[in-house]
Amino acid sequence: MALVACPTCEKQVSKRALACPGCGEPDPARYHSRNTWLGRLFWLAVWAAIGALVWIKVVPLVMDVFKQ
């Protein structure tokens, strides 16, 4: 049986538990998967913004260098 730490009380809870027996947090295993998904989405947005900035600012400068 796999155990995860409850995000509220940090007690070990089964991944199949519907609620934490210690504090009553609903579906404590789902919290970790949701948190991981949001973290990945955040970093994807950061890298997309960096890519857009490079495309807008750096690519025209490089193109001007090669045109000359």
The CA distance from 41 to 35, in Å, is: 10
- pLDDT bracket for residue 55 (50, 70, 90): very high
C-alpha to C-alpha distances, 29 to 45, 54, 61, nearest whole angstrom: 25, 39, 49
Cα 22 to Cα 4: distance, rounded to the nearest angstrom:
13
Question: What is the structure's pLDDT at 28?
Answer: 76
Q: Convert the pLDDT of each residue in 17-48 to its tens digit.
A: 888 888 888 887 776 666 677 888 999 999 99
pTM above 0.85, yes or no: no
Q: Tell me the percentage of the chain whose pLDDT exceeds 90.
A: 26
